[in-house]
Structure 1
Amino acid sequence: MMQTAWANRFFSFLSIFLLLIRISKAQSPKEMLPPWKAGHLDIHHINTGRGNATFFILPDGTTMLIDAGALDPTSERTLSPRNTPAVPSAEKQPGEWIARYITRFMTMSQLQPKLDYAQITHFHNDHMGSPSRISPKSENGNFVLTGITEVAAYLPIDKIIDRGWPDYAYPYPLTNQMVTNYRAFADWQTKHKGTVFERSKPGRTDQIVLTKNPNQFAKTVEIRNIIANGELWTGSGTETRQLFPALTGLSQQQLPSENMCSIGVRLRYGQFDYFSGGDMPGVLRFGAPTWHDVETPVSKVVGPVDAHILDHHGNRDSQNDNLLAALRPRVVIIPVWSSDHPGHDVLDRIYSQEIYPGERDVFATGMLDANKLVIGELLNRLKSDKGHIVIRVAPGGERYQVITLDDSTENFTVKAVFGPYQAR
């Protein structure tokens, strides 16, 4: 009896002890994303709920931002359940949230908050920013702050690369409000801030280069311009070829679309490869000419990669069989802002073992409940459906992790860590 009573007291004390441990763990501060360190490659897919923004810290500390989307916050569609909500809130506009994220993380990593490069893949609002009736006017130039123009109000930018500089006339003169505002910004930024503007140069690896310590990493880091305006690297030297036919024989309706003109780049660090292709399409509409499929010829020169941010947010006209079979990404990032992202058939192709065999982990920045209801089981396979997504590549480029962050605060709170993966 005494032994039984003693055993009961022991297990009671043990239960209380374990409960206290669980309470202690629940109340302890959550882990924060460790700062970037020299030799690492960081790729931050920043979720604002309003478009694309991907921030890079290269192994020597060189920085780059690809896109700075900002949908019109006053439009009926942006405010509808069809679109994702603003993150972390609608109190500030996406450009300011992006700049704050970069500034805070660079300061935490003991780097001077600035961008060596910014690239706008193409001229759509979810990639460059849309002027709206509430966009603040610049205190200096004759333009408003939205997307990339707002990021530049908070962060110095040394060079901005787009597909249109200096005349913005391909495939026809670009005169819409977004581009007009951006061109006024470019004129002012060039004259008063010394920012260099350039058109993307396909085939080249000397347009985006390491600026802090190039000698140490020159042999392991390469950023190759793959395509812009349909001018595609051939895979040999710096040679290019034009995918699109001569414009003189085309009507206005037959001209290449804005998405088709997207900039595509491949980043390589040691064995690790990452591809970004803007909104380039790959699935032909009925009756469309074959040259409207940009993904297939692009995929042939890009080759296998470890990680890929989906073209056109995974919309139904993207991620064709040829692209997926050639790239074979181990990690896939879906930048979501609409219930169109991703298409059901696109997700089916991404997971298809017939297109390419092997494991793949898919992450989304902010999946809508509407998508989950319609698509169902395929979305249940996502490794993460909400938050900032950080790819951190270890020194030398042989291994990498994917780290998801809570996007409801600015604290870089870690939600989950995946990997390490072996780079290919």
Structure 2
Amino acid sequence: MKRFFLSLFLAGASLLSAAGDLQVYAIDVEGGKSTLFVSPSGQSMLVDTGYDGFRNRDADRIVAAAKAAGVKQIDYLVITHYHHDHVGGVPQLAAKIPIRNFVDHGKNFEEAKDNAAVYNQYVKIRNKANHIEVKAGDRIPIEGMQVEVVTASGVAIAAPLAGAGQANPACASYKPLQPDTGENAHSIGIVVTYGDFRLADLGDLYWNQEHDLACPDNKLGVVDVYLTTHHGKKTSGSPQMVWALDPRVAIMNNGPSTGGSAQAWQTIHDSPDLVDLWQLHYATASDSAHNAPEKFIANSGEPCKGNWIRLSVREDGAFTVLNSRNHYEKTYEPSKKSSSVPR
């Protein structure tokens, strides 16, 4: 009996200590995107909602992550851009959990019939709540952490973030791709700061627009965690951007056959101070040499159970990453590099 009560005490102590942490859930939406941030203040920010359809699959997975995090409403829903794998799930999600504020870049830059239909469905839901249209340089006013918008509507921040602005030697070898005038190029990108911890999430920002953040000077500075851009496709995640961010950990929000390209994987792998790369899925189009070790992959094989990857972040910059499939977790101690960036 004493052992039972001791176990309860220790479990309660663990929950209390976690209550002061920043929690981040990389949710599996099968090659779309959805990431839940829960601030130590208790406020929540969801970045993108995955797909519609599939019998409410993505909305159900988001709600399950919210429940695991103790979240009963989404305080800020950030829609990085209006592709169906990022915004399509909004109507289904809004029917399951309250959403207080909708954050986006405003205008839809793709008038194709299918994309316009997805956008119009989103606007109907957005109009029932508060709408915040952001531009580069704005901050999303969530309590307990700092969220800086570094790019939106195809325009990057003009001045570097605090502590950034160093010359980027990788820019000498930069080669642009064919221009993209659609939604990917207009994606919202954010840098999240909590104490001495920094995380970059650039949505599906296109290769050429990454250049505006990385060259000739690194406007973002270094980060602890990089949420891979555009699911790890080869049209994003340039060496100039990834190596400038110099992450210790990368989390790839790929699907089994979406993203996870060998080229993007190798670029991340070659980042100077990378320790580990975690993946939401084993990338079936790549070989084993271009996939993370099994313990770092949340979903492998079929049927997919929608396992997530969770970060628990302390204010001193230390963080723990957990794979919900196998419960493997790894703690990363505070980084001298990221903690030296002025806040």
TM range (shorter): 0.7 to 0.9
Shift of 1:258: 1.6
Equivalent residue in structure 2 for 1:51, among 32, 45, 50: 32
Question: Equivalents in 1 of 2:252, 2:331: separation in Å?
Answer: 18
Larger radius of gyration: 1
Q: Give the unaligned 5+ runs of structure 2.
A: 1-10, 163-177, 299-306, 339-343
Shift of 1:275: 0.6
Residue in structure 2 matched with residue 204 of structure 1 by the alignment: 138
Residue in structure 2 matched with residue 367 of structure 1 by the alignment: 282
Equivalent residue in structure 2 for 1:94, among 49, 58, 82: 58
**Residues 203, 361 of structure 1: CA spacing in aligned structure 2 closer, same or farther, 3 A cutoff?**
same
Equivalent residue in structure 2 for 1:117, among 76, 82, 91: 76
Correspondence 1:128 to 2:47: no
Question: Equivalents in 1 of 2:74, 2:51: separation in Å?
Answer: 19
Equivalent residue in structure 1 for 2:154, among 230, 248, 258: 230
Shift of 1:383: 4.8
The one-character-per-residue Cα deviations of 1:373-397 (angstroms, maximum 9, x if unpaired) are x422232546512231111102x24
The one-character-per-residue Cα deviations of 1:155-202 (angstroms, maximum 9, x if unpaired) are 1111111122xxx354x6x363454354345345534xxx11122221
3-state DSSP class of the match of 2:333?
strand
**Residues 169, 122 of structure 1: CA spacing in aligned structure 2 closer, same or farther, 3 A cutoff?**
closer
Question: Equivalents in 2 of 1:378, 1:181: separation in Å?
Answer: 34
Question: Does structure 1 retain, via aligned residues, the 8 Å contact 2:82–2:108?
Answer: no
Shift of 1:365: 0.6
Question: Equivalents in 1 of 2:258, 2:161: separation in Å?
Answer: 38
Question: Equivalents in 2 of 1:49, 1:119: separation in Å?
Answer: 19
Residue in structure 2 matched with residue 161 of structure 1 by the alignment: 103
User: Which amino acid counterpart does residue 294 of structure 1 have in structure 2?
Assistant: Q
3-state DSSP class of the match of 2:297?
coil
> Could you tell me the TM-score, scaled by structure 1's length?
0.64
Shift of 1:262: 0.6
User: Which amino acid counterpart does residue 105 of structure 1 have in structure 2?
Assistant: A
Residue in structure 2 matched with residue 69 of structure 1 by the alignment: 50
Structure 1 segment 4-15 matched on structure 2, within 5 A: none
User: Which amino acid counterpart does residue 81 of structure 2 have in structure 1?
Assistant: H
Superposed CA RMSD in Å reads 2.6
Question: Equivalents in 2 of 1:123, 1:152: separation in Å?
Answer: 16
Residue in structure 2 matched with residue 214 of structure 1 by the alignment: none
Question: Does structure 2 retain, via aligned residues, the 8 Å contact 1:364–1:382?
Answer: no
Question: Equivalents in 1 of 2:316, 2:332: separation in Å?
Answer: 12
Shift of 1:261: 0.8
Question: Equivalents in 1 of 2:15, 2:233: separation in Å?
Answer: 33
Question: Equivalents in 2 of 1:267, 1:203: separation in Å?
Answer: 13
**Residues 383, 306 of structure 1: CA spacing in aligned structure 2 closer, same or farther, 3 A cutoff?**
farther
Structure 1 segment 16-415 matched on structure 2, within 5 A: 35=15, 37-70=18-51, 73=54, 92-102=56-66, 104-106=67-69, 109=70, 113-129=72-88, 147-164=89-106, 168-170=107-109, 174=111, 176-187=113-124, 190-191=127-128, 195-205=129-139, 207-210=140-143, 217=144, 221-235=145-159, 256-282=181-207, 293-299=208-214, 300-352=218-270, 355-356=271-272, 358-368=273-283, 370-371=284-285, 374-381=286-293, 383-386=295-298, 387-394=307-314, 396-406=315-325, 415=327
Residue in structure 2 matched with residue 87 of structure 1 by the alignment: none
**Residues 419, 149 of structure 1: CA spacing in aligned structure 2 closer, same or farther, 3 A cutoff?**
same
**Residues 263, 47 of structure 1: CA spacing in aligned structure 2 closer, same or farther, 3 A cutoff?**
same
Residue in structure 2 matched with residue 250 of structure 1 by the alignment: none
Shift of 1:235: 2.6
Question: Equivalents in 1 of 2:76, 2:141: separation in Å?
Answer: 7
3-state DSSP class of the match of 2:211?
helix
**Residues 92, 271 of structure 1: CA spacing in aligned structure 2 closer, same or farther, 3 A cutoff?**
same
Specify which structure has the higher proportion of strand: 2
User: Which amino acid counterpart does residue 74 of structure 2 have in structure 1?
Assistant: L
Greater Cα shift, 61-70 or 227-236? 227-236
Q: Give the unaligned 5+ runs of structure 1.
A: 1-30, 74-90, 130-146, 211-216, 239-252, 283-292, 407-413
Equivalent residue in structure 2 for 1:419, among 310, 317, 331: 331
**Residues 59, 257 of structure 1: CA spacing in aligned structure 2 closer, same or farther, 3 A cutoff?**
same
User: Which amino acid counterpart does residue 252 of structure 2 have in structure 1?
Assistant: I
Question: Equivalents in 2 of 1:254, 1:332: separation in Å?
Answer: 26
**Residues 64, 344 of structure 1: CA spacing in aligned structure 2 closer, same or farther, 3 A cutoff?**
same
Number of corresponding residues:
297
